[in-house]
Amino acid sequence: MRTCDIEGCDQKHLAKGMCRRHYERAANGYNMDKPYVPKRTGCDIDGCDRPHYAKGMCNPHWQQARQGRSGPLRDTHGERWTRLYRIWSLMKGRCDNQNLSMYRYYGGRGITYTSEWATFMPFHDWAYANGYADPAPGTPTGDALSIERIDPDGDYCPENCEWIPMRENSRRRQHARA
């Protein structure tokens, strides 16, 4: 079997004396005098153990660099699938997303949220400091906490929000309709 002519490479020959990898590198204009550097396995940023995505960085660090943002990366990925993240995301959607059916009752009436809560971590910190707790396994749905605006015409902000059981939130909503 004929092998690649590049020194140190024992891959099967494809064309012009090179294996597929070296032939494609040459065809794409890479300098063949430089040694081949294998793909990275992890992010080069100190303290980050995420897998490599591009330019020596993981996807979140690469996106941050590509968008020209500086400063430490605030990792919300560990919270993405939590109940609190879903509450925050739906709150923002009700105020911002005109395609949601509930928009007309919130954003359509001019209700919005404080700029501080535009990112998840300040909302997360406020929630746990003000009584939010994840429901224990087996807790009835009605006993789980939900966010409630004290003034129904006010915005979502720390001064106008509290955590109450979903059952109580439903009762308030029914009384408001009657």
pLDDT of residue 156: 97
pLDDT of residue 38: 59
103 near 112, Cβ under 8 Å? no
3-state secondary structure of 41: coil
- pLDDT tens for 21-65 read 888 888 887 776 666 565 667 887 777 888 877 777 788 877 777
Per this entry, what is the length of the chain? 178
Report residue 19 as tokens: 């294996």
Chain center to CA of 159: 27
Tell me which residue of 116, 111, 118, 115 sits closest to 155, measured CA to CA: 111
Mean pLDDT on 5-20: 83
How far apart CA 14 and CA 160 sit, in angstroms, is 69
pLDDT of residue 35: 62
How far apart CA 5 and CA 98 sit, in angstroms, is 61
How far apart CA 126 and CA 91 sit, in angstroms, is 15
Identify which has the larger pLDDT, 36 or 75: 36
Q: Which residue has the tokens 């330019």?
A: 55
Report residue 145 as tokens: 């906490």
Tell me which residue of 169, 174, 172, 167 sits closest to 140, measured CA to CA: 167
- pLDDT tens for 110-167 read 999 999 999 988 999 999 999 999 888 888 877 899 999 999 999 999 999 999 998 8
